[in-house]
Structure 1
Amino acid sequence: MLSRYGTLIGLTAMVVAFTIRAPTTFLTLPNFLNILNQSSLTAIIAAGLTMTLVVGEFDLSIGYVASFAGLIVVGFIARDGLPMLLAVPLVLLIGAGIGTTSGFLVTKVRINAVIATLGIGTILVGAGFAYSAFPIAAGVPAEFVQISLGKPVFGIPNPILIMVVVLAILWVILNKTDLGQKMQAVGGNIEAARLSGIRVDRVKMFAFATAGVCAALTGTLLSSLLGSGTLAAADGYLLDAFAAVFLGSATLRDGEFHIVGTLVGVLIIAVGFNGLSIFGAPTFFQPIFKGAILVLAVGLSTLARRYAKA
């Protein structure tokens, strides 16, 4: 009971507690939209990470990919003169290429996923410095900024709409397609999946490529929000994404990674940060809260798996 519904109980308890403490501030539509808007980028990158965890692998490069993508997309537009409609898809394609490279190293070269993705991330840090050691802010067109800060549709900010579309697509892939069933089979029992004829390496490479695209999209949206390309701007999303995904794996299912659970995990972190901000908690509480959430998330996920096997 605790392993399946503990995260939902915790989220409900936080909402109730914050509402009691600040009834006219917390439980309002503007604040709800603010929470969703602030958590949208984390949800996108965490959803991509979910795909790699579903197939039983890790990707520690997603924060670095997001930072690199955010830097070069602004550079392509403001410094190199590429049209925005060409620069953004190109950066997403680069993100897919980086993820595919990580998948190749893991599946074909047989390098441990932690080492391979951490190495790729470190390379991207150097590549980012080589491209521009300083933030790129001059010459950023208004239409690029409008991607994140443009006029809301029916009162809903653009990042929320993009988040909904991305999560819906990944949910359909994972739950309603043959590829999604293969991914879950690979993550459940890789040898049985291989013996049943599933091309395990291709499935894993697809998961890594998806994570790369989601990370690149997150970096692009962040740069649009900031109005500049800044090296290392999105590195912090790595920890947030892992905390959200592991919290999500302990939601409704017995330790399985899934998109709906990831969204719940993201909301728990966002609601916690929002409440701390409303009550004026010192800044140092945020990393403490984030680290505690990660430990709790892994603990709940481990409990869920343990009792599922019992």
Structure 2
Amino acid sequence: MNTVRHTAAGQQPAAPPPGSHQAEQAGASSMTLKAVKFLGRYGTLLVLILLVVVFSFLDGSRFLSFTNFQNILLQSTISVVIALGLTVVLVVGEFDLSIGYTASLAGVLTAGLYAGSAGGKLGAIGLVIAVGALVGLVNGLIVTKLGVNALVGTLGIGSVVMGATYIVTAGVPQSLDASGMDLIQVYLGKLGPIPWPIVILFAVAGILWLLLNRTSLGLEWQAVGGNRTAAELSGIRVHRVVIFAFVVCGVLAAAGGVLITANVGSGQIAGGQGYLLSSFAAAFLGSACLRDGEFHVVGTVIGVVTVAVGFNGMAIHGVSTSAQFIFQGLLLIAAVGMSTSARRMVSGRRAGH
């Protein structure tokens, strides 16, 4: 007769003996989890270091020069401003596909309105930022009050904004007039030894970091993104919080459009649309940096710099533009994979799996 051994109540079964098939599987699973956790925290930094090492080896002093690193930061400013706005929306668990169109509209409005006295110029910038806030407000209302999926709703609003851009410009790029050429000094001028765009980059990043991490609104954003139902039960007005996230995103997209015009001296009809993919790539790369798949300000800045380093190094090495966009697309896929795996691992761990 077979003897059946029962495990005492509340007692865990004995661990598989070393060398057994179960022990090998458990060890492999543990190593996989550690690898996913490591990539979820340091994957982007590894990519950045790898890019620097590769391009340093290929191009030496041309890539490693102080001037080139300064150029990388200069090239990153507009992307950082727009991507940080997107980061806020991603933090609350939504998406915004209208940011590129909003930046384009803001750019042409800036070129057309920025003229006259100093007061008139400040008023023009204020109006452009208000337009960006309005786009964000409409996005937020459509997503929260009408219950439209954020991808669909913001894509639809983006199409409307693109139509408005064509109405404003009649399909013709808008150039700054003579009285508005001082706006270009934003990109040519310096604060001491530091170019103004780099000052703007760190100022915007610093303000948004404080907003997200040191204010009640920022903590509410993170709570809503972490668990919307729990946030609502705790008394957070979820719809208001989400709407305000979209407004901040629209404001920063418009600010990015102003910087685009300051950079090139004119408002281009599609000037901001190229920043959509790069912003998503930067935000998802940033979520695989220092945290377990969470969107955050420092990560997004590092993500933007990572993409910029890749583009800069390939340009110096003479790689074609098509290859640069292939690189960006592959980088986005890898970033989403790393951040998604890290989030799943953390969710499973919290659920006790």
Global fold match (TM > 0.5): yes
> What are the superposed Cα offsets for residues 2-52 of structure 1, whole Å, 9 maximum, x if unpaired?
221111111111112211222211112111110000011101100000000
> What are the superposed Cα offsets for residues 289-309 of structure 1, whole Å, 9 maximum, x if unpaired?
111111111111111112212
Is 1:145 matched with 2:184?
A: yes
| Partner residue, 2:214 | 176
Calculate percent identity across the aligned residue pairs. Answer: 50
Is 1:85 matched with 2:132?
A: no
Q: Secondary structure at the match of 2:343?
A: helix
| Partner residue, 1:73 | 110
| Partners of 2:48 and 2:74 in 1: CA distance | 18
1:195 CA displacement:
0.5
| Partners of 1:276 and 1:64 in 2: CA distance | 27
| Partners of 1:36 and 1:177 in 2: CA distance | 28
| Partner residue, 1:39 | 76
Residues 91 and 295 of structure 2 are in contact (CA less than 8 Å); yes or no, is this contact kept in structure 1? yes
Q: Secondary structure at the match of 2:321?
A: coil
Provide the alpha-carbon RMSD of the alignment.
1.5
> What are the superposed Cα offsets for residues 105-141 of structure 1, whole Å, 9 maximum, x if unpaired?
1111111111111111100111111111201126252
Moved more, 103-112 or 45-54: 103-112
Residues 185 and 262 of structure 2 are in contact (CA less than 8 Å); yes or no, is this contact kept in structure 1? yes
| Partner residue, 2:316 | 278
Count, aligned residues? 308
| Partner residue, 1:106 | 143
Q: Which amino acid is the alignment partner of residue 75 of structure 2?
A: Q
Residues 48 and 215 of structure 1 are in contact (CA less than 8 Å); yes or no, is this contact kept in structure 2? yes
| Partners of 1:10 and 1:255 in 2: CA distance | 16
> What are the superposed Cα offsets for residues 43-68 of structure 1, whole Å, 9 maximum, x if unpaired?
11000000000000000000000000
| Partners of 2:39 and 2:220 in 1: CA distance | 29
Structure 2: runs of 5 or more not aligned: 1-37, 349-353
| Partner residue, 1:290 | 328
Q: Which amino acid is the alignment partner of residue 276 of structure 1?
A: M
Q: Which amino acid is the alignment partner of residue 175 of structure 2?
A: A
User: Which of 257, 261, 276 is equivalent to 2:299?
Assistant: 261
Residues 48 and 306 of structure 2 are in contact (CA less than 8 Å); yes or no, is this contact kept in structure 1? yes
Structure 1: runs of 5 or more not aligned: none
| Partner residue, 2:195 | 157
User: Which of 255, 271, 275 is equivalent to 1:237?
Assistant: 275
Is 1:307 matched with 2:350?
A: no
Residues 112 and 176 of structure 2 are in contact (CA less than 8 Å); yes or no, is this contact kept in structure 1? no
| Partners of 1:290 and 1:9 in 2: CA distance | 16
Q: Which amino acid is the alignment partner of residue 50 of structure 2?
A: A
| Partners of 2:212 and 2:244 in 1: CA distance | 12
Divergent runs of 4+, >4 A: none
User: Which of 217, 221, 240 is equivalent to 2:259?
Assistant: 221
Relative to structure 1, the CA distance from residue 123 to residue 82 in structure 2 (aligned partners, 3 Å threshold; closer, same or farther) is farther
| Partner residue, 2:228 | 190
Is 1:212 matched with 2:250?
A: yes
Q: State which structure, 1 or 2, has the greater radius of gyration over its C-alpha atoms.
A: 2
Q: Secondary structure at the match of 1:208?
A: helix
Residues 148 and 157 of structure 1 are in contact (CA less than 8 Å); yes or no, is this contact kept in structure 2? yes
| Partners of 2:339 and 2:150 in 1: CA distance | 20
Residues 62 and 212 of structure 1 are in contact (CA less than 8 Å); yes or no, is this contact kept in structure 2? yes
Please, what TM-score do these two structures have when normalized by structure 1?
Answer: 0.96
| Partners of 1:59 and 1:197 in 2: CA distance | 26
User: Which of 81, 100, 104 is equivalent to 1:63?
Assistant: 100
Residues 76 and 82 of structure 1 are in contact (CA less than 8 Å); yes or no, is this contact kept in structure 2? no
